[in-house]
Chain A
């Protein structure tokens, strides 16, 4: 990677969906199988245009459902292809069965999830219920803050997926990112091509009867292999524990890929798993995901002007969850608020909150933590409500007796 260094990039006007499609175009993808669903549709439309204009050399598989989209992507991936698909909301829900199959056969499929609320009632707007529901399925999850990051994350996802042997979900907020046209710096085709390289396939040793030989682990009529055969109580448990260990072992790979990407693009997402903002001397902070955190940063600036010691932490990698790193980081604050854009019905707080608070239980110093559930079904979170959240968290410094879960911007 040394010789790649920072290169001349082109400033384009793209929305988040188009930025993802551009990344796919440049990433030596072999197979795209996808089914349109708002607000992801533009991704599939642009890839379809690239395909029909001869700008991308892929097998473009038109399928009749998302279940088939992911099934086809899986088949392609275990046959040694680099496969991409994209979906949102109910489409992701329909992929449910195959999510686990892709992950548990360690197939490095990359999928863009354009976050949208789940039915019923039908709602096309942004929240994180869809990808949060899939958090236990064994996919690496990276949440993007804007269209530029959606582009960057998609390119990095192919490397991470293939080196860690895990599927990667890159998420972007419906409409707020997917349909927002903005400045996006695009790397030259050959630089991305060299960065992602050819599809990496793990190699295995053949049994003795075939001779001392190594072959790529993929579907191949010459050396037949099975993916996901019967595995009962004798070994299933061990395999699941190994899968969990392997997910944790992807952490250094995720970091390495980000650092190499920063070298060619000049865009660093250090320290990768989450990004602190004005936390050095902060008393209290808000932790959250995705595009909302842009607005939170603006509010932090405003409150700092008023002399309030506030900061923010934007989580990027939600799976594997950076518990250890976050524990160290959060211990130094007097109080912490978590922003959750999804609910866990009947649970004690949203998914980000339960994860963060669980991580903090074993910390030496445990700040009080409150969950702010917001933005379900695309409900706006204007700066004045973020200010109110900060005020609530600041008040917790003195008086931690507070409800664990609060709703921001809901009618009472």
Chain B
């Protein structure tokens, strides 16, 4: 089973991103969960969302304490003071994927990430602004995620995006996702 924790702020589409991922995994014939950790619901407040993906039915439930993958969707969280929150429980050999203009090596230093963790970065906010016209980096992060981990085939993510945002908006999000496939750096 792959367990994923998303970190971001209200309004950035953390929950939608995780929902699209779970939908895509289910369409691909897998078992999946997506759920939010809600605090007070407000724009700008810290938001965490979770995903579980497996080939067999999932018994686990509730928060994830030892993720395989951590996704940071908000560039302002790339600061040493958020290190504990972001890297807590991240498994050895796991993946850290960050929306930032920084290079993977810089993020590794900023968060003092052990060598065993793979660090990937993508400037998802710029891609989202250019492709979608608004700073919603969630679908861009999904593109980066599948490039970094090979978790799912891109066609299922496209189906998931169109499920959530039918029509033109969905297409723009797919464009953003495809750009992330090319522009994500790391490994």
Q: Chain A: residues with CB nearer than 8 A to chain B?
A: 11-13, 15, 124-125, 146, 175-176, 179-183, 291-292, 294-295, 297-298, 380-382
Contacts and interface: CB of A to CB of B under 8 A. Distances in A.
A298 B35 contact: no
Interface stretch (B52-60, B96-104, B111-119): B52-60
Given A13-B22, A175-B38, A182 B32 contact: yes
Contact of B22 (A176, A182, A292, A298): A182
Contacts of B26: 11-13, 183
Interface stretch (B5-13, B61-69, B146-154, B179-187): B61-69
Contact of B27 (A13, A125, A182, A380): A13
A124 B36 CA distance: 13
Contacts of B61: 146, 176, 180, 291-292, 294-295
B62 A181 contact: no
A308 B57 CA distance: 25
Nearest to B29: A11
Interface string B9-48: 0000000000100110011000111111010000000000
A345 to B, nearest CB: 26
A294 B63 contact: no
B35 A175 contact: yes
A198 to B, nearest CB: 34
Contacts of A294: 59-61
Interface string B101-145: 000000000000000000000000000000000000000000000
Contacts of B58: 182
Contacts of B33: 180-182
Given A13-B32, A175-B35, A176-B35, A181 B63 contact: no
Contacts of A292: 61
Contacts of B60: 294-295, 298
Q: Considering the complex of A and B, which 8 residue pairs feature the smallest CB-CB distances, nearest first?
A: A180-B35, A181-B34, A294-B61, A13-B26, A13-B23, A181-B22, A182-B33, A291-B61
Given A13-B27, A294-B60, 13 more contacts: A124-B38, A146-B61, A175-B36, A176-B62, A181-B33, A181-B34, A181-B35, A182-B58, A183-B31, A183-B32, A298-B60, A380-B62, A380-B63
